Structure 1
Amino acid sequence: MNVIHRHYFEGISDRVFNHQHRYSGLSSESPNNPIHVHEISGCSTKDNGHRHYYKLITGPSTEIAGGHFHSYQGFTTTDQRHYHLLSGSTLINNFMPSPRQKFTTAEARQIGEQLGIDWSKNPFNVEQFRIGLDVELEHGRRDRATNVTEDDSITTAKIALAHLNEFPDYYTRLTKLEKEAKAFWKR
């Protein structure tokens, strides 16, 4: 049966010059015949002031119970005089991870520290940051039309951090504004 299908993929590049990039997406479509492959292409996250693009062809399918997957390996484009190795496997055909719904306080603290947030010096606290992470998941897998992060925690965190750097109580204000708007539109 030659069913057209795609595969979800995600990973982290190798480490070059003390940094890595995250990447994720959906493969190209392909019929489900025994010797099929997929194209994996896209753009990595922006880390260390730059990003990389990639376009790889997977290996043939590896059959397992419940479906199959593909392995891939290749290099990104060169930027700032270096490139990265990408290698891994796709997820099982037509499997899409569930959209992330929320972050814990511990996750928010760890992600913030990865971004260099010093909690003792910032005008916002971990809870405001966690709320921001939860709100900015609206730019993830919850809605295909607005999905720009693929639920990547660092990309989501950078959006939240940008808003909190504008106003340390940004998400408190947003919550109040949304309540007022709902009340107004109920009239």
Structure 2
Amino acid sequence: MEIPISGLVYCSDDSDGHHSHKLYITSWDGRPVHVHAFSGVTSFDVGHSHEYAGVTAPAPSGVPHVHEYQTETTFNDGHTHFIRGRTGDAIPLPGGGHYHFFEGYTTVNGRQPHAHAYQGRTGNESM
């Protein structure tokens, strides 16, 4: 099964010499897509916590859906962690739009290997 997708690729040459590409999907199967910002603070474990922020992967608008997400935490106590998961279903907002709950555990890292719990809700949808 083929699903038509449209979008654009942004190519950058950063000042630090790294070359990167970002894919921005603008429609999925003929439907516009949207994303959500998310951020928060992990649980406090082994004497510290971490902050995180990111934007979910795109998902089609107007249909039941979830979003995948991933990001890296702030550098605290000599290390970072990675966060990766899938949101819950869309929850309508009274004035229009919707948000999603998310939760999970970071990857294990640190001098004393450990993980942190995290949870939150995304912001409202944005294109």
Q: Same fold (TM over 0.5)?
A: yes
Match for 1:70: what amino acid?
H
1:29 is aligned to 2:58: yes
Which of the residues 88, 91, 101 maps onto 1:59? 88
1:90 is aligned to 2:119: no
Taking the aligned partners of 2:38 and 2:106, their CA distance within structure 1 comes to: 15
Cα offset, 1:42, TM superposition: 1.1
Q: How far does the alpha carbon of each residue in 1:99-126 deviate from its partner, in whole angstroms, 9 at most, with x for none? A: xxxxxxxxxxxxxxxxxxxxxxxxxxxx
Q: Runs of 4+ in structure 1 displaced over 4 angstroms?
A: none
Larger relative contact order (Cα-Cα within 8 Å, sequence gap ≥ 6): 2
Specify the alignment match of 2:102 in structure 1: 72
Cα offset, 1:48, TM superposition: 0.6
Which of the residues 51, 68, 74 maps onto 1:45? 74
Q: Relative to total residues, which structure has the larger strand share, 1 or 2?
A: 2
Would you say how many aligned residue pairs link Structure 1 and Structure 2? 95
Paired residues for 1:1-12 under 5 Å: 2-12=31-41
Cα offset, 1:89, TM superposition: 0.2
> Gapped runs of 5+ residues in structure 1?
96-187
Cα offset, 1:2, TM superposition: 3.8
Which of the residues 18, 21, 24 maps onto 2:47? 18
Contact residue 13 and residue 85 of structure 1 kept, 8 A: yes
Cα offset, 1:33, TM superposition: 3.5
Q: Relative to total residues, which structure has the larger helix share, 1 or 2?
A: 1
Which SS does the other structure have where 1:3 is aligned?
strand
**1:2 to 1:63, Cα distance in 2 relative to 1, 3 A:** farther
Taking the aligned partners of 1:34 and 1:16, their CA distance within structure 2 comes to: 38
Larger Rg: 1
Computed over aligned residues only, the root mean square deviation of the Cα atoms, in angstroms, reads: 1.6
Match for 1:42: what amino acid?
T
Taking the aligned partners of 2:59 and 2:34, their CA distance within structure 1 comes to: 6
TM-score relative to the length of structure 2: 0.70
> Gapped runs of 5+ residues in structure 2?
1-29
Taking the aligned partners of 1:85 and 1:17, their CA distance within structure 2 comes to: 12
Cα offset, 1:41, TM superposition: 0.1
What is the percent sequence identity of the aligned residues?
32
Cα offset, 1:32, TM superposition: 1.6
